[in-house]
Chain A
Amino acid sequence: MRTVTRIALGTTRSVRGRCSPAMAIARMNHTSSINPDEIAHFSRLSASWWDEQGEFGLLHKMNPVRMQFIRDKLLEISHEEDAENVRNGGILEGKDALDVGCGGGLLSESLARLGARTLGVDASLSNINIASLHASSDHWLNGLEYRHMPAEDLVKAGRQFDIVCSMEVIEHVDNPANFLRSLAHLVKPGGHLFMSTIARTPLSYFLTIFMAERALRLVTPGTHTYSKFINPSELLELFQEDLGWLSRSYHGTPPRTEAEIQGIAYLPWKGAWALLPKTTPGSMECNYMFWARKPLQDDGKHTT
């Protein structure tokens, strides 16, 4: 529990002083982890979601790497369990997938293209509108649906999914521990949770805030809040001690079949993101991918 408190503490103060009418409404909803400032911020930017050379250009380039991580991990696990029946092509075919904080739908579209019945949810209505509009032009996206709602509402409705993704979201929510508990609820037993976020290190401050936002203006200043960044060890502790998803860990490394963390980095000379080898020193000091699997037998450690 100690770790969970630390996560919560690190994020209760909103550094930015933006205020909006949505804020008042959101305050009434105590169960929601949604931060109204963040929603207002991304709603303003929503029109540029699909401008691949604009605000979200780096995110577009990150998408293939996220998908690679998701696909490879699913393949690895399915190989582990049933080596004879691995379907290399359609590992996502027919699976139920949820994308929490789908934004313009970058990841949702990719999941749907690979055959998953995908639901994208976002707290910003304008994001959902942009995402729906964009998806309507692609005839490959039949199994894709978007809804304007917080993840907590899906928990209340008792929905569960084979795959739950939440990419670059947790560093924007108010109470990450609660948010993670909600995500955990939405995963079917034996299902998979994928996240990507940013570690809270001097390197990540330098790259994501100083360079990307201030010096190079690749991202609108104010997009990231340093204190909201979360370290891999903090995530792992929450999943082990609070949610009980991990049986043990070896010097902070979880068993390969229960959870995995892999750093990713943008390589300017290649113009692309890449998954970093796990042995690279400092590979998890900035952007990283996280995967954990919900145990088939729920041992009841969950607290809501």
Chain B
Amino acid sequence: MPFARIGQKSWKSGQIVPRIPKRCFSKAAICRQSGQTSSPLDAETHDVVIVGAGAAGLALASALTRPSSSARSCRIALVEASDLSKVREWSLPSDQYSNRVSSVTNRSLSFLKTCDLHSHLNQTRTNSIQEMEVWDGVSDARISFRASELLGREHSTNMSTMMENLNLQRSLLKTLQSNSSIILLDKTKVDSIAKPNDDANSWPLITLDNGRVLRARLLVGADGFNSPVRRFAGIDCYGWSYDTQAVVATLFHPSRSTGNTTAFQRFLPTGPIAFLPLSPTISSLVWSTKPHIASSLRSVHPDVLSLMINAAFRLPQISLQYLYDYISEKGRDGLQVERNELADEIRWREAAHSIQPYSALSSTSDKQGDISEGFDLLPPLVEHIQAGSVASFPLRFNHAETYLGEGLGSRTVLVGDAAHSLHPLAGQGLNLALGDVEELASCIDDAISHGIDFGSRTALLPYVRNRYFENHKVMSAVDKLHKLYSSQLPPVVWARSVGLEVVNELDSLKTALMLSAGADSRTTPNPWNAAADGVTLVNNGIEFLKTGASVISGTVGSAVRNVLKV
């Protein structure tokens, strides 16, 4: 499975706060009453009002205005609370990277190309992923994906493309600015959304904080996972917080003779740690782990964090647990973790695990390099971390009950994080959002060419039908993977490891997995189907074990069941 980075996080350092509530909406409540809103007569009428100019909002605006779209003559307004000039003028020296990056699948990329992404995308800052190494932190069971071997000549040798979110957004924004049918309203918050006279059939009125009132045939909530548009539409959302934070950073490391086109992910019981290549010597980290470990990792010196990252890809779980405790105890006592002390500790632990200094598994020896056997199964050793790039954000699972408002919330539709947010371990957040946008744009197109009002439920229902279950499958597969790999219980570890190794031997199944994860730019059906089915199978096995365990012994059985709650 491809992995990657996601998330609503600032490209500046520090704790990342979910961006939406502050960004898009002022404090005023989202009200449905018409009392204080202006009458429809004062309102500017638009065909589409998109709230939120993140990747999803920008991509939708681009898709609707591309030359092939029937919607290109529509009046479209894009409302964004933050200052878009920061995105437009974003630029970093070539040796620095934003810590907010995404893995864009080939399918998503070919859609973005139809939106003229490439005329403004800085392609020197993108990097293709051609191989993936995924392994179990407890059993070391491993699965390898190589695009060149599995997909054959007729396919691209890319599995996906890593790019900084700001690179993507800047490119879409520049394309949009050359288009006069789009009205960009940045530094503007939405004060309230209402239906005049509480009439469900009327068009929503969006009052902005500068007093402007927009009347919308269709209101699109692309406003992130705390979506105020979703709240206005009265759409419930179900989900939970994982007891997990993702730590991200931009990592510097020596170049390798084999290039830097492999993504690595190790499933630790505390959560997966991923290494995503951005350039020959720079990669991005996404380390999902328990909140207390995440906060110690964020508070230590970046050099100490480098050692921890190298160890986390290599040391057995028991030693990692010791290292987590070590740095958090120091932090609790108000002491600095010394780089040398930690290096000594790791060296001692490597010796205790019989890891030879020249082995690829050693992270403290300078004898290690491209010559070590199996070096390409592990990521390059991190030397240092880009200043200010360390940050963390909480992980959630959230899925709106529907993507389409009803009654007073009619003419409202949700895309991207406003509709769903998921664990970043498969790097599917942005790709699901782009899938939504592509489908919604095609629904709107279809409605226009048949003379149908595209704000109507009839026109939008195919969007929900085609996306909801599709997204749900991917989301629950990812969720179950997370839970499956959180366990250290021997039967679970055994079952998942055997499953992984068996899959690793079956090239055709691996090809199917890669294609369904979006590696093929041509086909559209069933992303993650195979993955979802595979996980369901393993899950069923565990259900079976659960039953067995409870029969065998009463008290032990119930403890096992608790742990096995997948």
Chain B window 292-329, contacts with chain A (Cβ cutoff 8 Å), 1 for yes, 0 for no: 00000000000000000000000000000000000000
Interface membership of B529, Cβ < 8 A: no
> Would A110 and B456 count as touching, CB distance under 8 A?
no
Q: Which of A50, A64, A137, A271 contacts B447 (CB 8 A)?
A: A64
> Would A67 and B461 count as touching, CB distance under 8 A?
no
Chain B window 77-108, contacts with chain A (Cβ cutoff 8 Å), 1 for yes, 0 for no: 00000000000000000000000000000000
The 4 A-B pairs at the shortest CB distance, nearest first, are namely A110-B451, A113-B451, A114-B451, A67-B450
Considering only CB atoms, which chain B residue lies closest to A114 in the complex? Answer: B451
Q: Can you name 25 A-B residue pairings with CB atoms under 8 Å?
A: A52-B457, A52-B458, A60-B456, A60-B457, A60-B458, A64-B447, A67-B450, A67-B452, A71-B449, A71-B450, A109-B451, A110-B450, A110-B451, A111-B451, A112-B451, A113-B448, A113-B451, A114-B451, A138-B217, A138-B453, A139-B45, A270-B465, A271-B461, A271-B465, A272-B461
- By the criterion of a CB under 8 Å from any partner CB, how many residues of chain B are at the interface? 23
Residue among B70, B202, B450, B461 with the highest chain A CB neighbour number at 10 A: B450
Interface membership of A14, Cβ < 8 A: no
CA distance A61 to B217 in the complex (A): 19
CA distance A67 to B462 in the complex (A): 17
Chain B residues within an 8 Å CB radius of A67: 450-452
Chain A residues within an 8 Å CB radius of B485: none
Q: Which of A53, A71, A109, A111 contacts B457 (CB 8 A)?
A: A53
Q: Which residues 408-456 in B have Cβ within 8 Å of A in the complex? A: 446-453, 456
> Would A110 and B452 count as touching, CB distance under 8 A?
yes
Considering only CB atoms, which chain A residue lies closest to B462 in the complex? Answer: A272
CA distance A109 to B462 in the complex (A): 21
Interface membership of B201, Cβ < 8 A: yes
Q: What is the distance, in angstroms, from B241's C-beta to the closest C-beta of chain A? A: 34
Residue among A53, A64, A71, A272 with the highest chain B CB neighbour number at 10 A: A64
Chain A residues within an 8 Å CB radius of B446: 64
CA distance A138 to B215 in the complex (A): 11
Interface membership of A68, Cβ < 8 A: yes
CA distance A285 to B448 in the complex (A): 31
**B residues in contact (CB < 8 Å) with A:** 40, 45, 70, 201-203, 217, 406, 446-453, 456-459, 461-462, 465
Chain A residues within an 8 Å CB radius of B203: 137
Interface membership of A142, Cβ < 8 A: no
Chain A residues within an 8 Å CB radius of B45: 139
> Would A113 and B457 count as touching, CB distance under 8 A?
no
- Supply 10 further A-B pairs (C-beta < 8 A) apart from A71-B449, A114-B451, A271-B465: A53-B457, A63-B458, A67-B450, A112-B451, A113-B453, A134-B201, A137-B202, A270-B465, A272-B461, A272-B462
Chain A residues within an 8 Å CB radius of B452: 63-64, 67, 110, 113
Chain B residues within an 8 Å CB radius of A61: 458
- By the criterion of a CB under 8 Å from any partner CB, how many residues of chain A are at the interface? 25
Q: What is the distance, in angstroms, from A76's C-beta to the closest C-beta of chain B? A: 16
> Would A109 and B465 count as touching, CB distance under 8 A?
no
Chain A residues within an 8 Å CB radius of B406: 53
CA distance A61 to B446 in the complex (A): 14
CA distance A64 to B406 in the complex (A): 20
CA distance A229 to B45 in the complex (A): 43
CA distance A57 to B312 in the complex (A): 57
Chain B residues within an 8 Å CB radius of A112: 451
Q: Which residues 111-130 in A have Cβ within 8 Å of B in the complex? A: 111-114
CA distance A273 to B380 in the complex (A): 56
CA distance A110 to B453 in the complex (A): 8
CA distance A134 to B455 in the complex (A): 13
> Would A64 and B458 count as touching, CB distance under 8 A?
yes
CA distance A52 to B406 in the complex (A): 10
Considering only CB atoms, which chain B residue lies closest to A62 in the complex? Answer: B458
Chain A residues within an 8 Å CB radius of B40: 137
CA distance A144 to B202 in the complex (A): 19
On whether A68 and B202 interact (CB within 8 A), knowing A271-B461, A271-B465, the answer reads no
Q: Which residues 258-283 in A have Cβ within 8 Å of B in the complex? A: 270-272
Q: What is the distance, in angstroms, from A71's C-beta to the closest C-beta of chain B? A: 7
> Would B458 and A50 count as touching, CB distance under 8 A?
no
Chain B residues within an 8 Å CB radius of A60: 456-458
CA distance A52 to B461 in the complex (A): 11
Q: Which residues 34-73 in A have Cβ within 8 Å of B in the complex? A: 50, 52-53, 60-61, 63-64, 67-68, 71
CA distance A251 to B489 in the complex (A): 74
CA distance A89 to B45 in the complex (A): 24
Q: What is the distance, in angstroms, from B451's C-beta to the closest C-beta of chain A? A: 3
Chain A residues within an 8 Å CB radius of B461: 271-272
Considering only CB atoms, which chain B residue lies closest to A50 in the complex? Answer: B201
Considering only CB atoms, which chain B residue lies closest to A115 in the complex? Answer: B451
CA distance A53 to B456 in the complex (A): 11
On whether A52 and B451 interact (CB within 8 A), knowing A137-B203, A271-B461, the answer reads no
CA distance A295 to B453 in the complex (A): 33
Q: What is the distance, in angstroms, from A147's C-beta to the closest C-beta of chain B? A: 20
CA distance A270 to B452 in the complex (A): 18
Considering only CB atoms, which chain A residue lies closest to B461 in the complex? Answer: A271
Chain A window 98-115, contacts with chain B (Cβ cutoff 8 Å), 1 for yes, 0 for no: 000000000001111110
CA distance A54 to B446 in the complex (A): 23
Chain A residues within an 8 Å CB radius of B202: 137
Chain A residues within an 8 Å CB radius of B451: 67, 92, 109-114
